[in-house]
Chains A and B, each alone.
Chain A
Amino acid sequence: MKPAPFEYYAPSSLPDAVDLLSRLDADGCDMKIIAGGQSLMPMLALRVARPEALVDLRLLEDLDYIRKEDDGTLAIGAMTSKQAAADSPLVRSAQPLFQAATELVGHRQIRNRGSVGGSFAHADPASEYPAVALVLDTEFDAIGPDGLRRIRAADFFVTYMTTALEPTEILTAVRFAPFPSGRRWAIQEFARRNGDLALAGVALAFDIQAGLCRDVRIAAFGVEATAVRLTAAEQMLEGRPAQPIAFEDAGKVAAAALDDPMSCIHASSDYRRHLVGVLTARALGEAAARTH
Chain B
Amino acid sequence: MASTQRIEVRVNETTYVREVEPRLTLADFLRHELHLGGTHVGCEHGICGACTVLIDGHSARACLTLAVQANGSEVSTVESLRDRDTGALHPIQQAFVDGHGLQCGFCTPGFMMTTLELLRDIPEPSDEQIKEALGGNLCRCTGYQSILESVRLAAQRMKSNAPA
Contact = CB atoms under 8 A, between A and B. Distances in A.
Interface of A: 1-8, 10, 34, 37-38, 41-42, 44-46, 54, 56, 58, 81, 83, 106-110, 112-113, 194-195
A37 B25 CA distance: 12
B5 interface: yes
B22 A7 contact: yes
Contact of B136 (A45, A54, A81, A106): A106
Interface stretch (B61-69, B96-104, B153-161): B61-69
A109 B63 contact: no
Nearest to A103: B132
Interface of B: 1-3, 5, 21-25, 28, 44-46, 49, 52, 55, 58-61, 63-66, 68-69, 71, 114, 117, 132-133, 135-136
B64 A7 contact: no
B69 A37 contact: yes
Contacts of B44: 2, 45
A195 B136 CA distance: 7
A5 B59 contact: no
Given A8-B2, A109-B52, A113-B58, A3 B68 contact: no
A41 to B, nearest CB: 4
B21 A5 contact: yes
B22 A109 contact: no
B64 A42 contact: yes
A10 B66 CA distance: 12
Nearest to B60: A113
A44 B3 CA distance: 18
Contact of A5 (B2, B46, B65, B66): B2
